[in-house]
């Protein structure tokens, strides 16, 4: 116990102070009523009574200091040859306090001190003192039992003194272990409660994280579907402005716009209704995306190198959504007078490695155009990267200055098998 803890609550000292004052009063009465002693010896008895009272008052809060005072009293009596006092029986309180509240070293020293104190007591023992101590029947029986073995009364007195100190010391030690066991059980219950609470909080955090992931996934899907469809519809509407006199061509363009809008609405409904399983791409897969761009009036060069392989449903969805976003960006930021180039390299093409490699290239601006094209920011590219990273793929975006403008190349690597 630190000094700050000792003095933090002064009112906690009240029981200790009362006990010490009571011991002091009894000691002073004994010191002044003892006959056949000199004034110097009486003064020594007063000092012994005072130090014993102080040791008793410190036995709960500062058991090590109380034990030191006990040994100080014993040393004083040994040097000055002052007799034992009846009030020193209260040192049993110090023995109890040392075992109950003392540090480990204090407990060990106090336990070793008990037999030593019993032996030293014989040096100061007087028959009159022990007659006063043996007024109670149970002590008389102990004393008589020891004397019956043929030993001297000094040995009997030492045994009695040892018992008087050992009994409270053992009681304090037992209470110490009992209290620690109770505190250990309480701490264990508290730890279990904390663990359960942490487990519940962890589950809630995982649930919230899962909901946020689902929300982000839903936002990416809606962005991909709506963004692509609106880009195609916008391109078709712009193309219709240049063919007002061709009624058949205009009618075909408007029909294509209507088809794109219906497909977009169908895709959005499919995305919103999907729960655990990924929403499957529309019929035709990647080819349907390429044909849709062509149908909108955009020139598109497509190459497929290697042997096409069937993809697992989750990878097919990723490939579809990634190509969809690539084409959307190409339409939004690309030049209409330049074709969009799409290449698909399968693993046996020699360029795709063990992945399906999809590359979309488009021209944007002119060599003199210093304006920044918003590639690499926004939800589109972020969504593509997250989709690819989730299945072990990756994304690369490059800008090159060429003689006829600025080219943007977006390349995605998609594993043909889940990783």
How far apart CA 107 and CA 173 sit, in angstroms, is: 8
Best CA proximity match to 286, nearest among 227, 220, 345: 345
pTM of the model: 0.46
How far apart CA 288 and CA 283 sit, in angstroms, is: 7
The per-residue b/e assignment along 351-362, b for 16 or more CB within 10 angstroms, e otherwise, is: ebeebbbbbbbb
* DSSP annotation of 296: T
CA distances from 393 to 194, 350, 385, 411 (A): 40, 18, 8, 11
pLDDT > 50? residue 370: no
Q: Residue 20 is encoded by which pair of tokens?
A: 């010490």
Q: Residue 373 is encoded by which pair of tokens?
A: 């094209």
Tell me the per-residue pLDDT of 316-339, one tens digit each, with 9 for 90 and over. Answer: 888 988 998 898 888 888 887 888
How far apart CA 176 and CA 180 sit, in angstroms, is: 6
* Contact of 250 with 240, CB cutoff 8 Å: yes
How far apart CA 114 and CA 117 sit, in angstroms, is: 5
Tell me the per-residue pLDDT of 377-415, one tens digit each, with 9 for 90 and over. Answer: 456 788 888 888 888 899 999 988 887 788 899 999 999
CA distances from 87 to 91, 129, 191, 312, 360 (A): 8, 11, 47, 93, 102
Q: What is the pLDDT of residue 276?
A: 47
* Contact of 407 with 364, CB cutoff 8 Å: yes
Backbone angles phi, psi at 398, to 5 degrees: -130, 145
pLDDT > 70? residue 417: yes
Higher pLDDT among residues 93 and 288, named by residue? 93
- pLDDT level of residue 126 (50, 70, 90 thresholds): low
Q: Residue 315 is encoded by which pair of tokens?
A: 């990878």
For 99-110, what is the mean pLDDT? 92
How far apart CA 186 and CA 168 sit, in angstroms, is: 27
* Contact of 114 with 173, CB cutoff 8 Å: no
CATH 3.30.565.10 intervals, the chain = 284-419
How far apart CA 42 and CA 124 sit, in angstroms, is: 16
Q: What is the pLDDT of residue 411?
A: 94
- pLDDT level of residue 121 (50, 70, 90 thresholds): low
Beta pairing partners, 411: 359, 396
How far apart CA 164 and CA 169 sit, in angstroms, is: 9
Q: How many helices (H) and strands (E) does the chain have?
A: 13, 5
Tell me the per-residue pLDDT of 251-297, one tens digit each, with 9 for 90 and over. Answer: 777 777 777 777 767 777 766 665 444 455 555 678 888 887 787 67
How far apart CA 402 and CA 148 sit, in angstroms, is: 120
For 84-93, what is the mean pLDDT? 86
Tell me the per-residue pLDDT of 134-184, one tens digit each, with 9 for 90 and over. Answer: 454 444 555 555 556 545 656 666 677 777 888 899 999 999 999 988 988
Q: Order of strands across the sheet with 405-415? A: 300-305, 340-345, 355-364, 405-415, 394-402
Tell me the per-residue pLDDT of 8-35, one tens digit each, with 9 for 90 and over. Answer: 566 677 888 899 999 999 999 988 988 7
284-419: what CATH class?
alpha beta
- pLDDT level of residue 202 (50, 70, 90 thresholds): confident
Percent of the chain with pLDDT strictly greater than 70: 72
Q: What is the pLDDT of residue 147?
A: 54
pLDDT > 90? residue 130: no
CB atoms closer than 10 angstroms to residue 76:
14
Best CA proximity match to 301, nearest among 235, 363, 364: 363
- In sequence order, what E strands does 276-322 have? 300-305
């Amino acid at each position: 116990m630190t000094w700050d803890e000792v003095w933090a609550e002064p009112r906690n000292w009240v029981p200790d102070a009362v006990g010490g004052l009571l011991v002091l009063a009894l000691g002073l009465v004994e010191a002044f009523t003892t006959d056949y002693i000199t004034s110097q010896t009486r003064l020594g008895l007063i000092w012994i009574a005072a130090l014993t009272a102080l040791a008793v008052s410190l036995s709960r809060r500062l058991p090590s200091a109380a034990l030191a005072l006990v040994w100080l009293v014993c040393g004083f009596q040994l040097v000055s040859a002052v007799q034992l006092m009846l009030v020193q029986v209260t040192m049993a309180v110090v023995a109890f306090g040392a075992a109950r509240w003392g540090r480990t070293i204090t407990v060990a020293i106090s336990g070793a001190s008990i037999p030593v104190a019993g032996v030293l007591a014989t040096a100061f023992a007087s028959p009159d003192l022990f007659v006063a101590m043996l007024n109670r029947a149970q002590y008389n029986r102990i004393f008589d039992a020891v004397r019956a073995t043929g030993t001297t009364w000094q040995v009997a007195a030492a045994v009695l003194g040892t018992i008087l100190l050992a009994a409270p010391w053992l009681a304090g030690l037992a209470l110490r272990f009992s209290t620690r066991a109770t505190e250990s059980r309480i701490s264990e219950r508290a730890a279990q409660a904390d663990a359960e609470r942490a487990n519940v909080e962890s589950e809630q955090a995982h649930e919230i994280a899962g909901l946020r992931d689902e929300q982000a996934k839903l936002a990416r899907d809606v962005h991909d579907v709506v963004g692509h469809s609106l880009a195609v519809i916008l391109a078709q509407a712009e193309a219709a402005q240049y063919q007002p006199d061709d009624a058949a061509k205009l009618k075909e363009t408007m029909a294509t716009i209507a088809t794109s809008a219906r497909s977009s609405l169908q895709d959005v409904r499919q995305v919103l209704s999907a729960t655990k399983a990924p929403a499957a791409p529309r019929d035709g897969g990647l080819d349907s995306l390429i044909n849709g761009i062509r149908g909108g009036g955009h020139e598109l060069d497509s190459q497929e190198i290697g042997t096409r392989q069937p993809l697992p449903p989750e990878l097919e969805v990723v490939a579809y959504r990634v190509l969809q976003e690539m084409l959307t960006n190409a339409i939004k930021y690309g030049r209409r007078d330049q074709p969009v180039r799409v290449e698909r390299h399968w693993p046996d093409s020699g360029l795709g490695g063990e992945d399906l490699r999809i590359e979309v290239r488009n021209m944007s601006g002119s060599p003199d155009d210093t304006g920044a094209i918003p590639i690499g920011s926004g939800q589109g590219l972020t969504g593509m990267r997250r989709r690819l990273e989730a299945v072990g793929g990756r994304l690369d975006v490059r800008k090159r200055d060429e003689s006829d403008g600025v080219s943007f190349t977006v390349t995605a690597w998609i594993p043909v098998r889940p990783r």
